[in-house]
Structure 1
């Protein structure tokens, strides 16, 4: 609260009536609030100037006026109590109007530097009307509704030719149609979240991780980000499977309306995902994450094991590309080929370090997932070149679901399953020590 508003509040408290103190009106010649807002971010100023089609100087002035208006509105919202009926700026952001239900409070509004307007319903009364609509299932012909403080009404949107259904919805909710305005709308609201690798998502009460790669029905990510059953937001979904420690992979099944895309965020821009052919040691690799963006390095070793405080993770790929907390679960690419999801490591993106990723083909095989790729069906890309003909003395079979602890033979040798998965060609026991241990 600015010093002038604080002084006004003190005067009101002491005198019990509208003070003779005058706050400067909110207008272009008086742009800066008395306490001063934080300095405007250059990128925000540029975006505002671009989209509102005004100059950068006008954008800065507008932001300053809006900062002052927010202070005034907050003061009047409290001071006017149940007579407050909302506040709004004119299209230029120069004049703040405040609705009141008691004309006797107009002097207080003027003293605070705003313009009073007497209206029949308080904001609290309008909010009650809206809550009645919120409590009822809406017909599909009603795209939405909101409180419009400028007209002191509840606005109900309706499809063309369906106004009577909208009125019936309002009436059934207990809303007096005299307090509502029914507006024809072409809106078709839907969630606008594309599932893109490297983007942030949130788990539970706000823990942040990064999307790995979009798959049919959701996305893959790191297992340490959430346990099976944990809920996510942005996009909304649920961990359908998670393995950590031992492994560090998981997949999230997203809610309807979220669209898996064959893309990874490059910060800025995106890159396509065309498949998951495994790159060789020494290959360049780039990763995307919501903390440090797009970083690159080289693949140093494969089938590495690393011991975290929670336990040992096996079958990881070791790199010299950096990452930091919040990047976990994010995408690793060589060219347009998916490689894995960020697990963890040492160092940071200032001093450098060693970071490990969980190979993506193992995750896809473990959960029977299909990678979302550009151009249609992903190519068959086993992690290594398989033998063309299984040797004698083999009970292992591609397509069979194996549980941890199961034993098979391959080439006359016995192997024990380390983690549950569905076998596929290219994942024969001798070539995937992360899945099978020779006995």
Structure 2
């Protein structure tokens, strides 16, 4: 995949400034982060799901002790993700975890924010564009439909809005039609066109005796039991006729626009706060959102259990069937039939598999529909016990 700036002004100069600032603040920030992480690690004792530490160690090539350290830093990042955007307001440009999970970066357009950020244990990064400006540009692109435009997302670390396109010509057409300042944009070309992970037949659940998808998470609406899944897996009224999941009926479904649905099952069917890891089970205790850079795992009926990291929030994807907004981007692999399956960080439900590109042999990009909009839109309660 080839990435390039639309203008000669490149991300390199901004990143150099950011790293200079970040390095200057690292010692004080590191001490505070270490203290917060130590507290978070102590709270994790006895609460980490069986097998989770081993999974993280295998996925990231780290020791079990380092896996605990990573979980602790991710917990601190989740707290800062709630607090920092309101604290520095208009200058906020995003938060992410370092690749080695030993630092939490917070980008800002105002150098006067740096002391406050260091005091929170974050490494400040001075950038040119605030997050609101990038999100506004992304919103403008949401209204476009250009052949060869596969989607777009905000790369926090590069402080840019990335357009994914089949080629430079398609990307140029998007930029020209949008009227967005090219200085905000980076273009990625050469990616495969994303597509929903439609079904091939098999286990998990079968819709109308015809196609297969995967269960997301067990939910209830009042006293009615059911589960959430991907919207492209079925329309309201479609029947879940067989498979590992209990038979039921799609009650509501949104696709495109979003990619969410919920299925009601029989009143006597048992619901479990578990995700099938295909080598055991993972318990679900809440739906706390994980920060960009956090570890995340996915379960699906085609490829089973795979892990990676969260790369970006609010990805817009242009499937052939229509535009889907508000997805979360990951580097976890997936394949057709994994659609609707669970994305989970630790014991926190994150969302349901939507689609992507690549496969689990060569790797790829997968997007998921965050679970929150489904729960709130349809007054659903996540099963956590």
The TM-score normalised by the length of structure 1 is 0.42
More relative contact order in 1 or in 2 (CA 8 Å, sep 6+)?
Answer: 2
Larger helix share, 1 or 2: 2
